[in-house]
Amino acid sequence: MNDEARRRTTAWLQLLRVSALFTVPGDALAGAAAVGGRPGRGTLLAAGSSLCLYEAGMALNDWADREEDAVERPERPLPSGRLAPSTVLAAAGGLTAAGLGLAAAAGRRAGPTLPVASALAATVWAYDLRLKHTRAGPAAMAAARGLDLLLGAAATARGPGMRRALGPAGLLSAHTLAVTGVSREETRGGSARAPLLALGTVAGVAAVAGRRRQNPSDTRGLSGAGRSTRWAAASVQAAAGLYGAAAARPLAHAALNPSPPLVQRAVGGGIRAMIPLQAALTARTGAWRTALPLLGLLPLSRRLSRKVSPT
């Protein structure tokens, strides 16, 4: 690979925040677990749709913020001139179309995946183009994460079964709302208020996510021997504890010193903390065999984030 190709590849990796990609597949798995389903073809397609729509949001975010970034983050791919705005906008459109196509394929034998994916795509575009710098911005981002989990549920369940995914979607949305509130101050710093509010939210989410909930229709281990029950309980508590630790420590540092570097570190930690949260939400239904591999994505995300920032 020559220097020019390497430079463009690095620019795309930075634009798409590839280190944050590890936080996406767990949404679909947690949604499937919430409705008592086994991960299958529909779950895989839903996860693929989520990845495409997430990356569409990353590209559109930088396209919409290119003038602001020219002042605050001139090293970003667009203001530095390494990528053209028209190319990035086209990528956002293509990724959105791919995400909707995958969602349509996932819903052929399952629930309303295309309507959920369409709502998710609309929320992503509305956030990046209009809502981000308004008071509705954090709520829109939180809604997007909740819809992402519901997309995984829709790829598995039909009809009333979707209701069981509303609680986990609400917990994931609450965490996202708190982290997004902190992120609004990551370039300039600010007060300790947003990190402190986020700390309280993380504590509440961790407490609820750490309670094991058995699905009446779940037969993946909770109805078997006591060993499976103990594994399920232990995995829920471990994942919830890891979530709390991963999110709380950098938030506490940002609360003590809300400078831009520490606020950015808190946002990055909050993004990565979604992985153990997804694992906890998955394990609490008894699907601990699905949850444990999810935890393995956390060190991978941390390692990659040292090279490519997730924010």
Instruction: Report the pLDDT value the prediction gives residue 218, as an integer from 0 to 100.
Output: 45
**d(C-alpha 33, C-alpha 289), whole Å:** 11
Tell me the pLDDT band of 151, cut-offs 50, 70 and 90: very high
Does 147 score more than 80 pLDDT?
yes
Q: Does domain 3-305 have CATH number 1.10.357.140?
A: yes
pLDDT, tens digit (0-9, with 9 covering 90-100), for 96-132: 999 999 999 997 666 689 999 999 999 999 999 999 9
Residue 191 contacts by C-beta under 8 Å, 6 or more apart in sequence? 185, 258
pLDDT in tens, 175-219: 999 999 999 888 787 789 999 999 999 999 999 999 876 554 444
Token pair for residue 295?
């935890």
Once rounded to an integer, what is the mean pLDDT over residues 57-68? 96
Say if pTM beats, i.e. exceeds, 0.85: yes
